[in-house]
Amino acid sequence: MKNLTKKALLGMSGLALMSAVGSTQAAFIVNDWTLDLSGLTPAGPVINNIDQIGFTATPFHIVGDTPDGVLTTGEGFTVEGKGVLSTFVSFSLGTQTPAGINNDFEITYEFSGVRGTIGAPNPDGTLSFTHNPGGTLQFFFDDLGDGTKAVPGTGVGFGAAGGGQLFATFDVSVNALAGLGLSDGGAVSATTGDGSDDITFVLTNTHGFSVFKTAGGDPLNPAFAHLDSNFDSSPAGGAPFQFQTGGFNCGQTGDNFCGLEDGSAILAVPEPGLTLLVGAGLSAFGFRIRSKAV
């Protein structure tokens, strides 16, 4: 992310905001959460007081439904991607780096089958889009005993294929957090493949584990993940649509290409009676995280 601004919210919002992270990282934002992986086999860490979970830039692959080389108004598309969690930050305690992370064990994630539809052109020449139901976001724990470490450039070592144990599944839930002032969709350039994206996921399955918990130890269910990020089809500054990564079968056209997702995500848990209050807090402070203009 570039020039990311940390904006303040009152405590009533139930959200913590992210400080700037490196240009090759992004983060899931939570509010004093515990990630308890002790019930997995082998047992993983218990990480407390989490406000920010950093992850390395996420390779993604976007494919349009009509293979004519360009994304056009009314066309549907599908997106898949993957990434590795890296750091856990408490705004009060500082960065927490669990012993052995990304050496003895990894936490990876994958999203697949995420759908969208291209809308009308914007004045700046980009194409707007909205998301449709369909698609999942999944988190995996891998003790690296098999020696298969995740490599974003090749796509090896991620998820179940890399020996990871699935511990959480989120499904796409279109406009599930609309009451919090969070939008759905974004914009993409048909000529460069660069753009921005907002999408909401809801936790649907913890696969027999109680892994996401409040500061008091109570399970977080339901939990919502709202992705607010930017993406780039040529992060190294080369020609558009020339970026190959993640082990995907990338094309090099305007409706079949790969790139890097590099932005931020907000995870919020609206409590009974709190949703409207949170929405008011977000609206009052003009809440938005953007890493760069499209």
Question: Cα separation of 212 and 250, whole Å?
Answer: 34
Most confident of 44-48, 213-217, 226-230: 44-48
Question: Cα separation of 230 and 236, whole Å?
Answer: 15
> By the 8 A CB rule, do 236 and 229 touch?
no
| Predicted pLDDT at 97 | 82
| Predicted pLDDT at 34 | 87
Backbone angles phi, psi at 17, to 5 degrees: -105, 160
| Predicted pLDDT at 80 | 95
**Which whole number is the average pLDDT over 121-144?**
92
**Which whole number is the average pLDDT over 97-119?**
91
Q: Beta 195-205 vs 212-213: how paired, if at all? A: unpaired
User: Considering the entire predicted model, what is its pTM?
Assistant: 0.79
Among residues 234, 83, 99, which one has the least CA distance to residue 153? Answer: 83
User: For the range 243-250, what are the long-range contacts, defined as Cβ-Cβ under 8 Å and sequence gap of 24 or more?
Assistant: 245/59, 245/152, 245/153, 245/155, 246/59, 246/60, 246/61, 246/81, 246/82, 246/152, 246/153, 246/154, 246/155, 247/154, 247/155, 247/156, 248/59, 248/61, 248/80, 248/155, 249/61, 250/61
Radius of gyration of the chain (CA): 18
**Which whole number is the average pLDDT over 156-174?**
90
pLDDT tens for residues 13-26? 223 322 223 333 35
pLDDT tens for residues 26-69? 566 667 788 899 999 888 989 888 877 777 768 999 999 999 99
Residue 213, pLDDT > 90, answer no
Quote the longest CA-to-CA distance of the chain: 53
Lowest mean per-residue pLDDT among 83-97, 144-158, 175-189, 200-214: 175-189
Query: Is the CA virtual torsion 220, 230, 279, 173 positive or negative?
Result: negative
**Which whole number is the average pLDDT over 171-191?**
78
| Predicted pLDDT at 235 | 81
**Which whole number is the average pLDDT over 153-174?**
90
**Which whole number is the average pLDDT over 126-150?**
90
> By the 8 A CB rule, do 143 and 191 touch?
no
Among residues 77, 151, 87, which one has the least CA distance to residue 114? Answer: 77
pLDDT tens for residues 265-291? 554 444 433 333 333 223 222 222 233
Which burial class, exposed, middle or buried, applies to 237 when counting CB atoms under 10 A from its CB (0-12, 13-18, 19+)? exposed
| Predicted pLDDT at 294 | 35
Q: What percent of the chain stands above pLDDT 90?
A: 34
Question: Cα separation of 10 and 16, whole Å?
Answer: 9
Q: Which residues, at least 6 apart from 94, have a Cβ–Cβ distance to it below 8 Å?
A: none
